[in-house]
Amino acid sequence: MGYADFYRRSIEDRDAFWAEQAKLVDWETPPATICDASRPPFYRWFAGGRTNLCHNAVDRHLAQRADQAALIYVSTETGQEKVYTFRELHAEVQRMAAVLATLGVGRGDRVLVYMPMIPEAVFAMLACARLGAIHSVVFGGFASVSLASRIEDATPKVVVSADAGSRGGKVVPYKPLLDESIRLSQHKPGAVLLVDRKLAPMEKVAGRDHDWATLADRHQRTQVPCAWLDATDISYTLYTSGTTGRPKGVQRDVGGYAVALAASMKHIFLGKPGETYFSTSDIGWVVGHSYIVYGPLIAGMATILYEGLPIRPDAGIWWNLVEKYKVASMFSAPTAVRVLKKQDPAFLKKHDLSSLKALFLAGEPLDEPTARWISDGLGVPIIDNYWQTESGWPILTVANGIEKKASKFGSPGVPMYGFDVRLVHESTGEELTGAGQKGVVVLEGPTPPGFMQTVWRDDERFVQTYWSSIPGRQVYSTFDWGIRDEDGYFYILGRTDDVINVAGHRLGTREIEESISGHPNIAEVAVVGVADPLKGQVAMAFAVVKDASALVDDKARLKLEGEVMKVVDDTLGAVARPARVRFVTVLPKTRSGKLLRRAIQAVCEGRDPGDLTTIEDPAALQQIKDLVAS
DSSP calls for 255-266: HHHHHHHHHHHH
SS3 call for 215 = helix
Q: pLDDT value at position 242?
A: 39
Strand 522-532 and strand 536-545: pairing?
Answer: antiparallel
Count of C-beta atoms within a 10 Å radius of residue 554: 8
Residue 241 has pLDDT above 80, yes or no: no
Q: How confident is the model at residue 375 (pLDDT cuts 50, 70, 90)?
A: very high
**Nearest of 410, 411, 416, 409 to residue 394 by alpha carbon:** 416
d(CA 26, CA 411): 35
SS3 call for 39 = coil
Q: How confident is the model at residue 243 (pLDDT cuts 50, 70, 90)?
A: very low
Q: pLDDT value at position 595?
A: 84
Q: pLDDT value at position 497?
A: 66
Q: pLDDT value at position 155?
A: 98
Residue 244 has pLDDT above 60, yes or no: no
Segment 38-54 shows an average pLDDT of 98
Per-residue H/E/C for 409-453: CCCCEEECCCCEEEEECCCCCCECCCCCCCEEEEEECCCCCCCCC
pTM reported for the whole predicted model: 0.85
Answer whether 452's CB lies under 8 Å from 252's CB. Answer: yes
Q: How confident is the model at residue 534 (pLDDT cuts 50, 70, 90)?
A: low
Segment 248-258 shows an average pLDDT of 97
Answer whether 282's CB lies under 8 Å from 50's CB. Answer: no
pLDDT digits (tens, 9 = 90+) for 163-206: 999 999 999 999 999 999 999 999 999 999 999 999 999 999 99
Cross-strand pairs, 331: 279, 360
Domains and CATH numbers, the chain: 3-308+385-480 (3.40.50.12780), 503-629 (3.30.300.30)
State the amino acid at position 290 in one-letter form. S
Cross-strand pairs, 36: 44
Q: pLDDT value at position 493?
A: 84
d(CA 111, CA 99): 12
Q: Sort residue 423 into left (φ over 0), alpha (ψ -120 to 50) or beta.
A: beta
pLDDT digits (tens, 9 = 90+) for 312-368: 999 999 999 999 999 999 999 888 898 898 888 889 889 999 999 999 999 877 888
SS3 call for 108 = coil
Give the range with max mean pLDDT: 212-216, 284-288, 342-346, 516-520: 212-216
Cross-strand pairs, 44: 36
Segment 447-464 shows an average pLDDT of 97
Residue 613 has pLDDT above 80, yes or no: no
Mean pLDDT of the chain: 93
pLDDT digits (tens, 9 = 90+) for 411-449: 999 999 999 999 999 999 999 999 999 999 999 999 999
